[in-house]
Amino acid sequence: MRRFLLAAVAGMILSGPLMADTKDDVTGVIQSQIEAFKVDDFETAFTFAAPGIKRMFGSSDRFGMMVQQGYPMVWRPGRVDYLDLREGPTGPVQRVMITDQAGRTHLLDYFMSPSDNGWQISGVQFVQAPGIGA
C-alpha cells in the first residue's frame, strides 16, 4: 500500500504546474554539468553525478575520461535541446537532443535521482531515433 501511495504522490509531483518546476530543476542540473564539461572542469561535472556513478568511477578524472571517450557529444556539444520529461521507475527521465559539432544529432535519456541537494544524474542512455537502424 505504501508503495502505491508513493507512486501516486510521485505521479502527482510530475504533473501540472509542479512538472514545470521539476523540469527546470532537472534541466538546470544537466546544463550545469554540460557547462563544466565544456571547460574540462571534471571535478565540478562529477558533483552532479549520483552516488552510484561516483562509486563506479571513483574519481572525477576517470569520470571525465569516460565522458570524453563514450559521450564526446556531451563533452563538446554544438547544441543542446531539452525535450520531454517523464516519470521513470526510479525518478524523472529527461530526454535531451544534442547536436554535436559535426552536425550529427544524438538523443539521450538522463535518469535523475533525488538527493539532499536537489537532483543528481544517475545514468545516461543513448536512445535510437525513430527511423534509424534496421
Query: What are the structural domains, with CATH classification, of the chain?
Result: 2-127 (3.10.450.50)
Total number of residues shown for the chain: 134
Q: Quick one: pLDDT at residue 10?
A: 45
Task: Read off the C-alpha cell for 61.
Answer: 578524472
Give DSSP secondary structure letters for 82-126.
EEEEEE-SSSEEEEEEEEETTS-EEEEEEEEEEETTEEEEEEEEE
Nearest to 82 by CA among 99, 67, 100, 94: 94
> pLDDT truncated to tens, each residue of the chain (134 aa)?
444 333 434 444 444 444 667 899 999 999 999 999 999 999 999 999 999 999 999 999 999 999 999 999 999 999 999 999 999 988 999 999 999 999 999 999 999 999 998 999 999 999 987 765 54
